[in-house]
Structure 1
Amino acid sequence: MLNVLLAGASRGIGLGLVRAYLERGDRVFAVARDPAGSAGLTELAAQHGARLQLIACDLNAPAAATTIRAALGETRLDRLLLNAGVAGPAAQDVASVSEAEIAQLFLSNAIAPLRLARALAAQLNTDAVVACTSSVMASLQLSPGADLPLYAASKAALNSLLLSWAAQLGAARDFSLLALHPGWVQTDMGGTQAPLSVAQSVNGLVPVIEAAAGRRDCRFVDYQGQELPW
């Protein structure tokens, strides 16, 4: 039984991953700003009992890691899945975006996930997997983010921070790092016109995450395991 911590668990892909790991028989720590307000998490808690622990935490808060470490206690993690993120302002224009909007976007999508990953690294078991939800729009080579340039930039920043962290750790790192493109998914962010359901995305993501265990590399991949250019 794996110990899995999933941040951004209240809905969409995050909730789908919580469900998938519980169905595998694993123990899941589900982090959300208001887990009690998530009907999906409440239902899963009733079904799976002690194998699902809900942690109320604002991931952008400076004390987020302290809150989560207190909830974990001495528990060591096999999977750390950082899914939380925001689309950003409706008008994705550098000429009109406010400083507050851009700060919130980059904090939510790039800084907070890496800050939490670094803080929890000491509680990872050997050959664990740390996976952050990124986007194909983060790829500087593919450059598909013309419609959402600020969102794309924030995810590119996430990827850059992952690469930098991997380089800083060097040979001392005994866990895998993944930047995951989940596909275009039917969520509140992806919209109903997206071609993938949450279940289709999650059914791809879980095998990709599990295949990374023990590899100890740092990769940018999609939900089908295809390597993406950084």
Structure 2
Amino acid sequence: MHLLAEGKAPQAVAISAPTTYHGALASAYAEALLGFSEGSSASRSLSDGGHPDYLRCGSEGQPPGVDDCRNLCRDLSLCPVSAAWRVGVLFSADRLSLGAANSLLKMTEEPSPRARLLFLLDDGTLIPTLRSRCWNLSVAPSSEAASLLPPQTTDQWAQWFAVPKGEEDPLLQLRGWTTELLDRGAAPLACSLESVRLVAERARLSEPMLQDLTYLVVKEDLPLEQIFGDLW
């Protein structure tokens, strides 16, 4: 962000961070490049695809396909409509198929002068030929989230269920609980929580569904195989 403020924008940046951060990271980076102030009406329209120079490819937890990547390269080669840059964001870039990743090589090797790329990764990495052409950064989960344990008593569970929707991110909470449990040597429960998080993240479960699933695994000690027995 300091470089962007000085008018220096790396052509391609790869950021490794929890998937739940990706939407905010994409918006913040695009806002900085497109010249929006935080909280402006134009800034808020980014998440809805409301700016012609902000190009999203894929979505949180879902990588783009080969055709999506090719279309992005084509659109990035065009002149900006109203900003200094055209900004392309590739979600779940660590899960790109080999064909999709290879379709981006020419764009990263011979970039359009006004094109800028942001690769968002979760736990994986880009293929070496892409990674070598990017500035690579990492954003760790907040230490505050990782310092907590799952609810222990009935009252604590009730308080957790009562938190208004959207006030806290339960996926981040689960990641923090997993880290803390591993630090305390409770590997089996940590493994179960991580499985819940992955299921919820990949299936895009609602917060109530995620909370119910977490309660069944942690409080009722039910294995995921039993909960989803008819689906496996």
- TM-score, length of structure 2 as denominator length: 0.35
- TM-score, length of structure 1 as denominator length: 0.35
Greater helix share, structure number: 2
